[in-house]
Structure 1
Amino acid sequence: MAARVVVGIDGSASSLVAVEAATREARWRDADLHLVHAFIWPVMHVPLGPSALGPPEGGLRNMADRLVAEAEEHARKVAPDVRVTSAVVTGEPLTVLQAQSRTAQLVVIGSRHMGGFIGLMVGSTAVHLTAHGHCPTLVMQAPGDATGPIVLGVDGSPAGARAIEFAFAEAALRQADVLALHTWTPWNAQMPAPIDPAMPYAGTPGSLAEREACLLSEALAGHQDRYPGVHVERQVVRQGTREALIEASRTAQLLVVGARGRGGFAGLLLGSVSQAMLNHAHCPVAVVSGASTAR
């Protein structure tokens, strides 16, 4: 099966932005672009054809076909050389796109779709896919800085290892730099071994900061060897993770985080940091789950 990038479309301005981003991703990856519209109306048992009193081109099914045709035309304007396929799939967006993610390199969506709930800053489709998708999910909630780096949130967790691999691979495709950012506070840092067993919480001055710097180096080890053309800047800051990543996203072209990492609560499929990025980042956000594969 050919590699492919999937994009969810619903006729909104947000989904057209996603189509543009997905088309570029497909071109970079030498992959097919697959446009998917989740057609929920048959499930709700409503009439799909044109009304007897309306024009023959009316009706929900014809509207869905027009949405797909418009998205195809938009994609071909962005990259005429990318092979484009499309499908109108019966079902609600969450289930349809999750199923599509099983055979995709990447799923791209807008930050708000028609299926989003009023009052949520980021659509329910985006939250669901980043937690349950079978491949990385790229959410286009802000344009980002096209000349900026890819900001990578590194926490040293096993779940975050796939996010690191995705960020380096993406940087190589985009010919972009990587800003690997690791944050810590005395409340979430991994405690170093004590000097005196009688004082298990005591260490030498600066030992926490040194340990966190080593954690970042260890997490990135080997990736620069596999991607020698990617320039990496490392930053270790004593600051809350959400605040630091949101600030770094102001000048980034993409922010990459894991779905869950160190400090996540058992039972939550999407970590608090990932959710905060989907709501507040100033650039597109790629969320990579521990079970994802950036093929």
Structure 2
Amino acid sequence: MSGLVVVGVDGSESSLAAVETAAREARARGASLRVVHAFIWPALPVPLGPSPVGPSEGGLRRLAENLLTKAVERARATAPDVRVDRALVTGEALTVLRTESRTAELVVVGSRGMGGFVGLLVGSTAVHLAAHGLCPVLVVREQPATVDGGPVVVGVDGSPVGARAVDFAFAEAELRKAPLVALHAWTTWNAPLPAPRDPSLPYANPPGELAAEEERLLHESIAGRQERYPGVVVEHKVVHGGTREALIEASRSAQLLVVGSRGRGGFTGLLLGSVSQAVLHHAHCPVAVVRGAGAA
């Protein structure tokens, strides 16, 4: 058994759903599973052990240990043949999980933790880890609308980060024995103009030339992967419309949505693009965010 999948837990239903997903991922990859809880020591003088006047099973440290035990039991019930380790690490959740991502091939987290604002669909830890993690990050909701037998959907935009997302999506489709939908969405505002046919008319192109260029971009962006993953059935899908809307709609029937952390548009300095943030908040299935080569 090789490889490592890490899952962050905090006792929420969302994190327990993440544990089940992480256990299945580890089983499919032939990897071990590490269940991690980030424990912050209180600033106030609160006893970490049982209170002299309280129940023997009380205390912050004991509660954290019980939380980990429950998560490990859920993992072993989901994938009994997977080796499961546990870790109670002192530190803030994002810092702890980012450190864990240095040695993991995948980090799995729930979309909503125990803290923060209840109305948010995705918590700050999930969003920031997707931007700063050093390996792909899979974000899971507590009640994912996953469709059995649904495809893996990957957003394709021709960018270098998008190429890593495509590689990850092909590997996931093979692991899950699922079809793959390679989706590219474009509008006249985000599509690069093809070279003009007539230099004397620098902005003139035959009707349909822009659409043909976008079709070509999709095919070129996934070229070569089919030979490496011959068992994966691929559907090419080009949508004339907004990327966020197209991916969120495609997620309704998907079992997993894969995106790159940064696309070819927007502000270069941002670690997480607007499309990635939108699907993290609004997709109807688990979302995997893959960063560029500099993250490794």
Q: Distance in 1 between matches of 2:42 and 2:224?
A: 50
Q: Distance in 2 between matches of 1:292 and 1:21?
A: 27
Q: May I ask how many residue pairs the two structures share in their alignment?
A: 294
Contact 2:116 2:123 in 1 (8 A): yes
**Secondary structure of 1:162's match?**
helix
TM-score, scaled relative to structure 1 = 0.96
Displacement of 1:146: 2.2
Match of 1:209 among 191, 208, 211: 211
Extract structure 1 runs of 4+ deviating beyond 4 A: 42-45
Q: Distance in 2 between matches of 1:43 and 1:136?
A: 33
Contact 1:163 1:256 in 2 (8 A): yes
Q: Distance in 2 between matches of 1:137 and 1:257?
A: 10
**Larger displacement relative to structure 2 (135-144 or 169-178):** 135-144
- Aligned match of 2:191: 189
Asked if residue 8 in structure 1 is aligned to residue 8 in structure 2, the reply is yes
Displacement of 1:2: 3.9
CA RMSD in angstroms, aligned pairs only = 1.6
Q: Distance in 1 between matches of 2:150 and 2:118?
A: 32
Q: Give aligned-pair identity as a percent.
A: 68
- Aligned match of 2:202: 200
* Residue correspondence of structure 1 range 213-292 to structure 2 within 5 A: 213-291=215-293
Displacement of 1:262: 1.0
Structure 2: 5+ residue stretches without partners? none
Q: Distance in 2 between matches of 1:27 and 1:78?
A: 10
Q: CA 1:77–1:292 in 2, change beyond 3 Å: closer, same or farther?
A: farther
- Aligned match of 2:149: 147
Q: CA 1:131–1:88 in 2, change beyond 3 Å: closer, same or farther?
A: same
Displacement of 1:43: 6.3
- Aligned match of 2:49: 49
Displacement of 1:291: 3.0
Q: Distance in 1 between matches of 2:184 and 2:161?
A: 15
1:196-244, Cα deviation, whole Å (9 max, x unpaired): 2232221111000000000001000100010000000001110100111
1:179-205, Cα deviation, whole Å (9 max, x unpaired): 000011111111100122232221111
Contact 2:89 2:96 in 1 (8 A): yes
Structure 1: 5+ residue stretches without partners? none
TM-score, scaled relative to structure 2 = 0.96
**Larger displacement relative to structure 2 (257-266 or 20-29):** 257-266
